[in-house]
Structure 1
Amino acid sequence: MTPPRKNELIVVSGASTGIGAATAHELASMGYHVLAGVRTESEGDAIRADGIEPITLDITVPGHIEALTERIANDPERRALRALINNAGIEVNAPLEVLPLELWREQFEVNLFGHIAVIQKLLPFLRQSRGRIVNISSVGGVAALPIFSAYAGTKFALEAASDALRREVKAQGVQVVVVQPGGVKTEMAAHSGDISLELADKMSSEHQRLYGDLVTSTVASNTAFLKRAGPAAKAGAKIAKVATTARPRTRYTLGMDAAFIIPIARILPDRLMDRVLSASHRPQRNMPAR
């Protein structure tokens, strides 16, 4: 059965694959008109469907954000913006000492500043509709694994910005919700390990000695875990529910690992938490560095 159409728009950034695409399809199945942010024409063709309108949206490009703003303001059916789901993101992991600064900056541009730019432009519409902002953070926004310093840093910052924003706009009728996924089977997660190993190959011999085993064992552990991780469709269904439920909480975990790690990270002393996180990422003595 075709669901009744809802006279509302929802924006989902980073909607070409993975969690974003799954969320867009779930929202469309609920009857919303989804403006799905993609970066290329081919990605748009792939996700285009009944209730899903692809929008070229690289959130680091001001012109793309301006075009999205105009699309909402000039909606032919004058539909309200019900929610903004900030999902776009990239992940490049390497030890803090060796990750080039340009890759640090790129991750912050996409994972933090790009979302802030979109929020600043779309908040007026959300005030009018008394709508909702859903920021997709990560278990890494609460507990940072070794070699995840840059990615986790962007998510810690997004968590803090979300808290401040929630308190700033509450009186305006706008809700701000954070979703903290753990392991989810996505293309980004699948490729993350390969990127880390490629960066490790370029390390100096001294950095190979210091970090090679750590990188290799961390990637191996995460790769093994992702084989048991939940599907993107399940994550998308939960995010769609979070975006549309009448009385949302301020935060939601997504996945068993997030549900376990996040509460204990808030309770355990730092050094004990270090041991918990390092237990499954301990370098093997005889494992050769790449």
Structure 2
Amino acid sequence: MPQPHKQELIVVSGAATGIGAATALELASMGYHVLAGVRTDREAEAIRAAGVEPVTLDITVPDHIDALAERIAHDPERRALRALINNAGIEINAPVEVLPLELWREQFEVNLFGHIAVIQQLLPFLRQSRGRIVNISSVGGVAALPIFGAYAGTKFALEAASDSLRREVTAQGVQVVVVQPGGVKTEMAARSGDISLELAGKMSTEHQRLYGDLVASTVASNTAFLKRALPAAKAGAKIAHVATTARPRTRYTLGMDAAFTIPLARFLPGRLMDRVLAMSHRSQRNRSAH
């Protein structure tokens, strides 16, 4: 049952499905009032529940962020903003040479600049409440797989921005935490392979020769892994804990693949890490073939 004494506000962006939806529902079950960022009326009705209030929030639209800030400032129950969970994201994967620049820019607008815009608007509320920012990064923010260059680039940048922000606002009483998921069963993850194959189908003959097999094998490997990946509900429960625990660490991993890959990426020489990732992908692909 919800605990009324915990009735504080928590914002979760990208809350329509997957990790964001699971996190919002978990936080509501803990007694928090969640402002759940969605983009459409259909998404709003799907996520609406006791303790979960859908708000229109495309984080690349300044008016949406302004409206969110107004909603918090004029909360009818004068509840404090306890946490901001920056979860919204998109994933469009293709080789660096092939991915159109507009799709590079789109991913940075959503996965980085949108989050910064929300942080800039909501930080005064978090300073007042001595609250917390939770940035959802990725294992790709530490180890970049082939064809994941743009997506990983956004997450590497979010990792760096999070470190700077943490060092800037700790003295103000605001905590900044990074969560690094590996593979999680979500709609975005399931769609990303199809998008990659669609983009690959539009490549020139020369690019097909250079990258066709690489795209196909990477998609096959990731698809095989997702069959055994962490369920979104478990990821959401962990993020809800990270957002509310008394003394959080600066970083958390989600899933065995992240717990294994991230330490390796930090300590292994680059070329050795290349071989480890290649071997891992071959193993996943071979499993899928059987």
TM-score bracket, shorter-length normalisation: over 0.9
Deviations 1:176-210 (A, max 9, x none): 00000000000000000000000000000000000
In 2: Cα distance, 1:55 partner to 1:5 partner: 23
> Cα offset for 1:281?
3.4
Q: Do structure 1's residue 155 and structure 2's residue 155 form an aligned pair? A: yes
In 2: Cα distance, 1:34 partner to 1:140 partner: 28
Letter of the 2:152 counterpart = A
Equivalent position of 1:222 in the other structure: 222
8 Å contact kept, 1:178–1:250: yes
Residues 123 and 274 from structure 1, CA distance in 2 versus in 1: closer, same or farther, beyond 3 angstroms? same
8 Å contact kept, 2:2–2:28: no
Equivalent position of 2:136 in the other structure: 136
Q: Do structure 1's residue 63 and structure 2's residue 87 form an aligned pair? A: no
Equivalent position of 1:54 in the other structure: 54
- 3-state SS, counterpart of residue 193 of structure 2: helix
- 3-state SS, counterpart of residue 177 of structure 2: strand
> Cα offset for 1:278?
1.4
Equivalent position of 1:232 in the other structure: 232
In 2: Cα distance, 1:27 partner to 1:153 partner: 30
In 1: Cα distance, 2:238 partner to 2:226 partner: 19
In 2: Cα distance, 1:233 partner to 1:147 partner: 28
Equivalent position of 1:100 in the other structure: 100
More helix by share: 2
Deviations 1:38-84 (A, max 9, x none): 00011000000000000000000000000000000000000000000
In 2: Cα distance, 1:113 partner to 1:281 partner: 31
- 3-state SS, counterpart of residue 266 of structure 1: helix
8 Å contact kept, 1:13–1:38: yes
8 Å contact kept, 2:96–2:149: yes
In 2: Cα distance, 1:3 partner to 1:63 partner: 33
> Cα offset for 1:5?
4.7
**Structure 2: gaps (5+ residues):** 284-290
Equivalent position of 1:14 in the other structure: 14
Equivalent position of 1:75 in the other structure: 75
Deviations 1:106-143 (A, max 9, x none): 00000000000000000000000000000000000000
Equivalent position of 1:264 in the other structure: 264
- 3-state SS, counterpart of residue 280 of structure 1: helix
Letter of the 2:148 counterpart = F
Equivalent position of 1:185 in the other structure: 185
Q: Do structure 1's residue 23 and structure 2's residue 36 form an aligned pair? A: no
Q: State how many pairs are aligned.
A: 283
8 Å contact kept, 1:60–1:110: yes
In 2: Cα distance, 1:166 partner to 1:243 partner: 15
Deviations 1:247-269 (A, max 9, x none): 00000000000000001110000
Equivalent position of 1:286 in the other structure: none
Equivalent position of 1:241 in the other structure: 241
> Cα offset for 1:3?
3.3
Identity %: 87
- 3-state SS, counterpart of residue 176 of structure 2: strand
Please identify runs of 4+ aligned residues in structure 1 that moved more than 4 A.
none
- 3-state SS, counterpart of residue 281 of structure 1: helix
- 3-state SS, counterpart of residue 106 of structure 2: helix
Equivalent position of 1:206 in the other structure: 206
> Cα offset for 1:280?
3.2
8 Å contact kept, 1:214–1:281: no
In 2: Cα distance, 1:7 partner to 1:231 partner: 27
Letter of the 1:45 counterpart = E
**Structure 1: gaps (5+ residues):** 284-290
Q: What is the RMSD computed on CA atoms of the aligned residues?
A: 1.0
Equivalent position of 2:88 in the other structure: 88
In 2: Cα distance, 1:252 partner to 1:281 partner: 24
In 2: Cα distance, 1:85 partner to 1:254 partner: 15
